[in-house]
Structure 1
């Protein structure tokens, strides 16, 4: 059952502003994301400039996953990108997120949901994306089915997208912000792998759902 849309995350740092020389913008991370996903990154990190290297290696990861799909071979988590604020606020008690990693893996089967049957809450929410999607503070995951267009064999595998920050305290690491980033990257990856239809990852955010 759909519930009321969550309040949108808001940040006071403009995407285009530069807090210091160097680095890359929020919309340049992970190979390039939309303004909406960039806003989510700023909300989580508390900064709008990020270290070089935060752009990630999405094409490289997609190439590896594509090759594995051809042989139906599972792939352990690959790092799509590791988003690191250029100038995090390190003053005592200040919110800061040291790293926002995003990984992708290829699985033969959908793993069991450890939170099956639990209702969404302020701290943990489910979303109507792919086969399963959920996010909380500091982490999120999204699973989608990848069966390539035109592949008559019917072969399909499960793509697992994850983001988990172990260090730091976010400015606004709400489930909605974390999932906005994952949804965008999952959609990009599904397109690169040739399976956007079976992935069922929308191009725009949707309200979280109560149960799944």
Structure 2
């Protein structure tokens, strides 16, 4: 991010703002930034500052909001209405060769060891410690891909904490594993048939998934 008086790195895009950070919000995130702590937020349309607020700024459909927290708040106090801001980004190798990707987290297993760093990866602690339906993907020491779904929030299954899930995967001799979207989204379909018991009672309307298809 570049202003007339300073340049600063963007910390995150469309994530809850935490601590000293600069987060960019687009209209795909929500109607507003939903920030709960005072900071400094600038509303940009076509690169020009059209509004300045301390928190929970509305996100314009044809623009973005840049939200500064912690040490960056004072830096943003220099900015004025009408000022032009440049936001530049690039995708460095090897990521620029990726054709398809899906987000997930936090990491569960690294080189056979449990490695759950939810704070570093900016995940809510409740996601880690509470039992929920879970979805995870991993790679075994033999190079086999594994996908696992754990039912939860029901009489027949309470679900798993992330540590319980990681321990289970470790016993399966999984080398690397990552947690994926869980809760009511956790669904496994084999040959067109749901083979688990989604906690919502039916499939949730979600926009992505992992598919294994016959060539």
TM surpasses 0.5 = no
Between structure 1 and structure 2, the one with the greater Rg is: 2
Q: Which has the higher contact order (CA 8 A, sep 6+)?
A: 1
Alignment TM-score, normalising by the size of structure 2: 0.22
Alignment TM-score, normalising by the size of structure 1: 0.22
Q: Which protein is richer in helix relative to its size?
A: 1
